């Protein structure tokens, strides 16, 4: 029962519903050490999602004392990074903590990983991935994607040059996403994050190819990562019960040790929580088309997104990309309209 309640709480947290998550956690049986650890970690996450960082700080201190030897879940370290950003606005420290959280979670499936400084681009090049059940229950890709999204939101949003070697942190994130995409190739959310990381790495043609796949009509990607993870874990628990009859440009030299400094992120991230995966992918694809000089392609993609979700016209990224596309056209009326759109984003 504790495992199932923890799973449902994690689903609610991934979907941003902290109140329901707390309700689920209150039903957990915490008599075992493992379930107590899960309860503690997920309650920390719920407090953070509610913005209750005073309680988060107090609970993190308790966790560091009582659970110091149970370094088996990334959630407390993920929450600690959110707490650091909320209280200190220290980007470098926050990125280092998210890095550590990612290592902790990956270590559940790949115990050979000992530190991100030894976690390069070829870490997951081998096709020998763990069995599906282990992948979903132990790695928990929904947690990995939360960490990766948080990392992306603290990185510059402009891509590096295609002639540059991606900074170490991008190499690590690309490697992780390649592994997840190989296992979950039809999930739009996964494809979008992989494409966005390739975009940041200066690999625009590769990003555009994945985005086209992401937006294809025959893509089965509307099902979310959290639903797939939940279903896999539920099947695993049902199977166990039947057999036993019981119970994720301003780069410079960005890397793990490099600090971005503190203060607000001057680069607006393209990762946005208030739009659907299809719209996210459409915005990024239109951005790439615009950077490649394909003005008509960019406008067509944006108009397609607008037809699907009319409120996108209020989205800042949409206004900037469409405004730039209109300003670059040769039609005076479009140029004026584009200037107005860009002014409204200031």
Q: Which residues pair with 90 in a beta bridge?
A: 262
Question: Which tokens hold the place of 76?
Answer: 């407390």
Q: Which residues contact 292 (CB under 8 A, 6 or more apart)?
A: 204
**268 inside domain:** no
Same domain, yes or no: 148 and 88: yes
Same domain, yes or no: 244 and 292: no
**269 inside domain:** no
**19 inside domain:** yes
- Would you say 153 and 265 are in contact if contact means Cβ atoms under 8 Å apart? yes
Same domain, yes or no: 238 and 286: no
Average pLDDT over residues 316-329: 92
d(CA 55, CA 79): 12
- Would you say 199 and 292 are in contact if contact means Cβ atoms under 8 Å apart? no
Same domain, yes or no: 94 and 226: yes
**pLDDT for res 250:** 53
Same domain, yes or no: 93 and 124: yes
**76 inside domain:** no
Q: Pick from 38, 70, 102: which residue ends a domain? A: 70
**pLDDT for res 151:** 93
Q: How many domains does the chain have?
A: 3
**311 inside domain:** yes
d(CA 11, CA 15): 6
* Segments forming the whole domain that contains residue 176: 81-261
329-338 burial, b for 16+ CB within 10 Å, e for fewer? Answer: eeeeebeebb
d(CA 143, CA 255): 22
Looking at the predicted structure, is the pLDDT value of residue 266 above 60? no
Q: What is the band of 66 on the pLDDT scale with cuts at 50, 70, 90? A: low
Same domain, yes or no: 247 and 168: yes
**Percent of the residues in the chain that have a pLDDT greater than 90, as a whole number:** 25
**154 inside domain:** yes
pLDDT digits (tens, 9 = 90+) for 233-248: 444 333 433 333 333 3
Q: Pick from 16, 44, 70: which residue ends a domain? A: 70
Same domain, yes or no: 125 and 238: yes
Q: Which of 266, 249, 264, 268 has its CA nearest to residue 319? A: 268
**Percent of the residues in the chain that have a pLDDT greater than 70, as a whole number:** 65
Same domain, yes or no: 256 and 117: yes
Same domain, yes or no: 88 and 222: yes
| Confidence (pTM) | 0.73
Same domain, yes or no: 52 and 183: no
pLDDT digits (tens, 9 = 90+) for 281-321: 999 999 999 999 999 999 999 999 999 888 888 889 999 99
pLDDT digits (tens, 9 = 90+) for 165-198: 888 888 889 988 988 888 888 888 889 999 999 9
**189 inside domain:** yes
**160 inside domain:** yes
Same domain, yes or no: 188 and 283: no
CA atoms within 13 A on the CB side of 251: 19
Lowest model confidence (mean pLDDT) among 114-128, 134-148, 202-216, 271-285: 114-128
Same domain, yes or no: 99 and 155: yes
Q: What is the DSSP letter of 130?
A: P
Q: Pick from 220, 235, 261: which residue ends a domain? A: 261
């Amino acid at each position: 029962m504790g495992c199932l309640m923890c799973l449902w709480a994690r689903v609610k947290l991934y979907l941003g519903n902290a109140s329901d998550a707390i309700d689920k956690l209150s039903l957990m049986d915490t008599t075992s050490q493992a379930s107590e650890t899960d309860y503690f970690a997920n309650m920390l996450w719920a407090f953070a999602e509610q913005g209750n960082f005073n309680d988060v700080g107090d609970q993190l201190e308790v966790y560091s004392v009582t659970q110091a030897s149970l370094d088996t879940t990334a959630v407390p370290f993920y929450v600690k990074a959110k707490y650091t950003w909320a209280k200190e606005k220290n980007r470098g420290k926050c990125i280092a903590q998210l890095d550590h959280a990612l290592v902790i979670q990956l270590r559940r499936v790949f115990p050979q990983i000992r530190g991100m400084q030894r976690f390069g681009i070829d870490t997951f090049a081998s096709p020998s991935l763990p069995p599906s059940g282990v992948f979903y229950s132990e790695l928990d890709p929904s947690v990995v994607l939360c960490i990766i999204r948080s990392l992306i939101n603290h990185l510059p949003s402009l891509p590096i040059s295609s002639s540059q070697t991606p900074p170490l942190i991008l190499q690590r994130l690309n490697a992780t996403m390649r592994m997840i995409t190989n296992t979950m190739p039809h999930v739009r959310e996964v494809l979008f994050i992989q494409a966005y990381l390739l975009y940041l790495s200066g690999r625009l043609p590769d990003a555009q190819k994945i985005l086209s796949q992401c937006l294809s009509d025959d893509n089965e990607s509307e099902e979310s990562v959290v639903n797939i993870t939940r279903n896999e874990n539920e099947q695993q628990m049902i199977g166990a019960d039947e057999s036993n009859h019981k119970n994720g440009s301003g780069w410079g030299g960005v890397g793990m040790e490099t600090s971005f400094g503190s203060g607000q992120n001057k680069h607006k991230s393209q990762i946005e929580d208030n739009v659907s995966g299809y719209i996210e992918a459409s915005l990024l694809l239109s951005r790439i088309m615009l950077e490649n000089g394909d003005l008509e392609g960019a406008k067509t993609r944006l108009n397609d997104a607008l037809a699907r979700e009319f409120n996108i016209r209020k989205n800042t990224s949409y206004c900037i990309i469409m405004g730039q596309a209109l300003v670059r056209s040769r039609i005076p009326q479009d140029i004026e309209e584009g200037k107005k759109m860009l002014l409204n984003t200031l």
